[in-house]
Amino acid sequence: MGVGFGPSKTLAKLANHAAKKWSKTGGVVDLSNLERQRKLMALLPVSEVWGIGSRLEKKLSQIGITKALHLADANVAMIRKHFGVILERTVRELNGEPCIALEDVPPPKQQIVCSKSFGQRIIALEDMQHAVVMYATRAAEKLREQNSKCKHIGVFIATGRYGNEPQYANSASFTCHYPTSDTRDIVSLAMKGLDTIWREGYRFAKAGIMLSDFYQSNVAQLDMFSEQLPRANADTLMKTLDTINHSGLGKVWFAGQGINNPWQMKREMLSPRYTTCLDELPKAK
């Protein structure tokens, strides 16, 4: 655990990194002082600066910028000309000039993907249907969590990429007539897509659901000429479903998900969930 303070977001992230890395800091680093800022940046490689990846690090090293302090002291006009406005903002942030706004609430996602590799290969259509329904259900929950609806629903399946067994991968997508966050709509279109891409004789290792073309729930516009309309009381039903599942008192799920599916992800090495599961808290003897 570490806490970092700074006059800009980039400096605050450097302070947080230092608080975690060096125990002598006591877990807290304050970079409100210019001298402390420069002292820390002189110690850290440029790769530790937020937004500097391996490729950009190589390009910077070619012009002698290997430390965070070198980047902070670089000519702003030169950086903008050769690396663009994004890195220019980083240089300004390293000098204490806030250029990246803090977000109290992260912006809504523009795409939701729910996908996992199977614990064991799937060869039967029924098992694949259970997996697709489960992933579609979870994707719909994420969609409602950010108060969005979608019109584009996609599904994909794939065999393993390695080994000598036959390989196959395919995807299908459909557009709903109206923006929806109703799990029933998303499951229905996902199953329709699965029927078009399923092939017998393969050992499938992965499947997933993709949602896109989002609308905010309170501003979604319906097509007055469409014969397809949202289900009656769909929003109320989904809200009730989510309330029950988040209450901790019980679970409600779609029968299409199946029960005790053997293909689910292996979790023998799952880390203890100390912050979310009381049964997994360490016990003092």
Residue at token pair 């599904």: 155
**pLDDT higher than 80, residue 224:** no
pLDDT digits (tens, 9 = 90+) for 264-285: 766 667 787 878 788 888 888 7
What pLDDT, on the 0 to 100 scale, is given for residue 61?
92
pTM as predicted: 0.63
Q: Between 227 and 124, where is the model more confident?
A: 124
- The DSSP result for 176-243, as a single string, is EEEEE--HHHHHHHHHHHHHHH--TT--EEEEEEEEEEEEETTTPPP-TT-S--PPTTHHHHHHHHHH
- ∠ CA 126-130-131 to the nearest 5 degrees? 120
pLDDT digits (tens, 9 = 90+) for 135-174: 999 999 999 999 999 999 999 999 988 888 899 999 999 9
Structural contact between residues 90 and 114, judged by C-beta atoms closer than 8 angstroms: no
Structural domains of the chain ordered from first start: 3-94 (1.10.150.20), 112-257 (3.30.1490.100)
Distances (CA, A) of 171 to 181, 207, 216: 21, 9, 26
